[in-house]
Structure 1
Amino acid sequence: MPRIVVAPDGRRLAVEERGKADGTPIFLLHGTPGSRLGPAPRAQVLYRLGVRLITFDRPGYGLSDRMPNRSVASIAADVACIADELEVDRFAVVGRSGGAPHALACGALLPERTTRVAALVSIAPHGAEGLDWFAGMTESNVFEYLVARAGPHLAASRLASLAEEIRADPESKVLSLGREGSDSDRRVISDHGLRRMMIRNFTEALRHSADGWVDDVLAFSSEWGFDPADITVPTLVWHGDNDVYSPVGHSRWLAKRIPNATVRIQHGVAHLDALSVLPRVLPWLTRELGRQTG
């Protein structure tokens, strides 16, 4: 069962912990749509690396209450609230796909507590100067963002219908990622264990409504509430150059904007390969806290 943390405004946040209880605390922020039960490194990997992995449902997903009109920046306060409840002073943050902009928010807005940030297959801010935001993006994602920009009511109607379809057959959502994606994405989905984790992730994310999904897309289609240029903590930006869901140009833009960012563009891989990259990113995330506590 998840731990329920109550935010200062009374909202409930559903939190899960995995790995080593006294290990290096790392927040893993899920994709869009997604939940605290999303794909994560296996327990033995977390124990071997000495990682205490913390996940939670963003507002409106799973068992977490909705936060109307939230921005990307809003999630940093929820991360701080959960860290306080868990008696964690400093922590690293990694976000994948839709979780990546929220991880960057922690780097920008919680620099005294966030030691390192990793943004895997992130999108760039809406209206990013000099970036053709939709270039190389799959048609379904382009349509999703265009609907969001047309207004919240249209976005809510569109995504509520999609969420109903996913609840009826969550495996179809996972398989559609392979159909629209690259050969690399299809290879990832062919892994039975990973496919089951993704199905569980989508089922939990949309168990009650599409509210979290709607609010994520609206937040991505609006001002983020911070400038990536304000991030001063060590930041890793990773992307596969065959990504059609959040094209690699987005991470290249972020890498130029974030001071002293480390950028890793991997050839021949795509969006879902971020799932297999995550275990290799964890040692980088633990580095600073490891020096402090070692």
Structure 2
Amino acid sequence: MKSTINTSQLITLPDGRSLEYIEYGDCSGTPVLYNHGMPGSAFEAQVLNDVFKDNGLRVICPNRPGIGRSSSLSEYSLSQITQDCFFLLESLAFNKVTVIGWSSGGVPSLWQAKHSHTQISQVILLSSYSHFAELDQAPSHFAGQASVLKQVTTRFPALGLLACKMAGYLLKYMPSLYFKLLMQHCHTPDSDIIEAHPHYRDMLIEAQKQSISQSASTLFMDLLIQFREWPFYLKSIECPVTVFQGDRDPFVPERIGQHLADCLPNAQYHLLPGQGHMYWFEKSFQYRLARLCQI
């Protein structure tokens, strides 16, 4: 019988910081690296546990700096986050992994793909952000709530930080109100998933609480570095990338997924009709995802 790992673990990074990670699925299975959304944490990948265990997949989910028990960074950067993940893979003696990134987790996934030599075989993006410096140059670049969040975070950082602190306060002291407000921004496909699986509500709240457990400024810094210009272009990422995008996603709209597919040289694009941001919580999609990870 396959066994399941779902306990938090820590490793010490070369600079002395701690990196927390959680594993789900089959502890002896094919490794998959999962990059969490924001606000979010490694805890959210528990929804993959059962299907990935049944399909012989071992999911490794690190918390980015300042989230959960991962040490914070004095200078928060995607470059350091990428190095941390590669150190984790080397510590676990993984030669090749599939990388999955959901929402904000797509950005570190793309950075890992860019800087990988042999460690990453493919990347699977689930409603991922793109490189906004390139997206801003594209026709019809406006990208819904993601664009609004980018404008607030980069042009009015004090306001962006205040918004993150307010979200953190609601998460900590009024989680029910926070979740109600969150669901008001979701379209019907996502609210239907939560209604059908009420335990996902508690999972999302806990995962998002972990993102502000040390400081709400972690949420702000994580968003800010993703919206800034990167030192490379999407066309320089050579490994295979599969892009999934719901056509009713209010957080990461269809325009962003299409932009990724247009700019990445080795991408396959799958537009999901009638889907929002949380389609991957459904078992039917998870089996599809598991099959991709087995390639």
Relative to the length of structure 2, the TM-score reads 0.89
Question: Residue 120 of structure 2 corresponds to which residue in structure 1?
Answer: 114
3-state SS of paired residue (1:70): coil
Match of 1:146 among 137, 151, 160: 151
Over 3 Å counting, the alpha-carbon distance change for 1:131 and 1:50 in structure 2 is: farther
> What is the identity, as a one-letter code, of the residue corresponding to 2:163?
R
Listed as ranges, the gaps of 5+ residues in structure 2 are 1-6
Number of residue pairs matched? 284
The yes-or-no answer on 1:15 pairing with 2:21 is: yes
1:119-268 equivalence runs, <5 A: 119-128=125-134, 129-135=137-143, 137-138=144-145, 141-150=146-155, 152-190=157-195, 191-268=197-274
**Relative contact order (C-alpha < 8 Å, sep 6+): which is higher?**
1
Question: Residue 290 of structure 1 corresponds to which residue in structure 2?
Answer: none
Percent pairwise identity = 25
Report the Cα distance in structure 1 between the residues aligned to 2:15 and 2:148, rounded to whole angstroms: 34
Q: Deviations over 1:77-104 (max 9, x none)?
A: 1110111222222211000011011111
Match of 1:281 among 270, 289, 293: 289
Listed as ranges, the gaps of 5+ residues in structure 1 are 288-294
3-state SS of paired residue (1:15): strand
Report the Cα distance in structure 1 between the residues aligned to 2:236 and 2:95, rounded to whole angstroms: 21
Over 3 Å counting, the alpha-carbon distance change for 1:4 and 1:112 in structure 2 is: same
Q: Deviations over 1:20-48 (max 9, x none)?
A: 12111101111111111114334332221
Over 3 Å counting, the alpha-carbon distance change for 1:65 and 1:153 in structure 2 is: farther
Q: Cα RMSD (Å) of the superposition?
A: 1.9
> What is the identity, as a one-letter code, of the residue corresponding to 1:165?
L
> What is the identity, as a one-letter code, of the residue corresponding to 1:26?
V
Shift of 1:119: 0.8
Report the Cα distance in structure 1 between the residues aligned to 2:120 and 2:152, rounded to whole angstroms: 34
The answer (yes or no) to whether the contact 2:104–2:128 under 8 Å persists in 1 is yes
3-state SS of paired residue (2:46): coil
> What is the identity, as a one-letter code, of the residue corresponding to 1:157?
L
